[in-house]
Chains A and B, each alone.
Chain A
Amino acid sequence: GQQVMQIPQYQHVQEGEDFTTYCNSSTTLSNIQWYKQRPGGHPVFLIQLVKSGEVKKQKRLTFQFGEAKKNSSLHITATQTTDVGTYFCAGEDPSSGSARQLTFGSGTQLTVLP
């Protein structure tokens, strides 16, 4: 079945440093979503990427979808303590039919040191 790998598993950065997490799929994806989960909280939707090579920005966050639609990245510029949490990617398998299921990566846990 489809596998979505996410690296790194953990990342510690000093406040103000940049951060990037990478997501790689074993198969071509229809689209990819990104979620953020604060410690003790629930995942919250950040963004969805659909087109090959798509780049979207949300303030200090930049999301990219690879040309082959098999990988994606999330880059945070100048991290702040409010960025702490686990970031998950979730990719849709084109063969999942009408249910349009997502496969989640294992997440990258970001710690920001003040």
Chain B
Amino acid sequence: NAGVTQTPKFRVLKTGQSMTLLCAQDMNHEYMYWYRQDPGMGLRLIHYSVGEGTTAKGEVPDGYNVSRLKKQNFLLGLESAAPSQTSVYFCASSYVGQGNSPLHFGNGTRLTVT
């Protein structure tokens, strides 16, 4: 049982480049989330989805877009990367809303924007 799988694990971008981070879960969870983790700031929610075909903004959505075309996949896109987007990105999923069930996290993607 793979759980939550993120690809890639590492990526280096130049300012202005674009990329897509892929998250896949095999637990049939309805809810999926993208977080970023920066030193001393905990985990901040970027975007989330409450089901296939739905997306919503979290705490820090600017500069990111997401799509949930299939229930098991949640994609995070950076259209024009900026150095401020250097961070570790975690995808997570939960069976129901995150306040009522545990979050299952992927292993993370370390992104550096130069």
> Per-residue CB proximity of A75-114 to B under 8 Å, as 1/0?
0000000000000101010001011111011110000000
User: What does the 1/0 interface line of A24-64 toward B look like (CB < 8 Å)?
Assistant: 00000011010100000111110010000000000000000
**Contact among B96, B103, B106 with A102 in the assembled complex (CB-CB below 8 Å):** B103
Q: Is the beta-carbon distance between A48 and B102 smaller than 8 angstroms?
A: yes
Q: With A and B bound together, what is the CA distance between A88 and B98 in angstroms?
A: 15
Residue numbers in A under 8 Å from B96 (CB-CB): 100
A104 touching B99, Cβ below 8 Å: no
Interface size on A, residues (CB 8 A): 26
For A43, A44, A88, A107, which residue has the most chain B Cβ atoms within 10 angstroms?
Answer: A43
Looking across the interface, which residue of chain B has its beta carbon closest to that of A94? Answer: B99
Q: Does B69 contact A (CB under 8 A)?
A: no
Shortest distance in angstroms between A23's beta carbon and chain B's nearest beta carbon? 11
Nearest chain A residue, comparing its CB with the CB of B104 = A45
Judge whether A106 and B50 touch: CB under 8 Å.
no
B100 touches A100 (CB 8 A): yes
CA distance A43 to B58 in the complex (A): 19
CB distance A107 to B42 under 8 Å? Answer: yes
Give Cα distance in the complex from A43 to B40, angstroms.
Answer: 15
The prevalent SS among residues of B at the interface is loop
Given the known inter-chain contacts A42-B105, A43-B105, A88-B43, please indicate yes or no for A98 contacting B50, CB distance below 8 A: yes
* Of A48, A92, A98, A102, most B-chain CB atoms within 10 Å: A102
Residues in A whose Cβ lies below 8 Å from that of B50: 98-99
Taking the complex as formed, is B2 at the interface, i.e. its CB lies under 8 A from any CB of chain A? no
Is B29 an interface residue when CB atoms closer than 8 A count as contact? Answer: no
A6, A9, A42, A100: the one within 8 Å of B98 (CB): A100
B12 CB-CB contact with A under 8 Å? no
B95 to chain A, nearest CB (A): 12
Q: Which of B98, B107, B108 contacts A101 (CB 8 A)?
A: B98
CB contact between A92 and one of B45, B48, B99 (< 8 Å): that residue: B99
Closest chain A CB from B63 CB (angstroms): 19
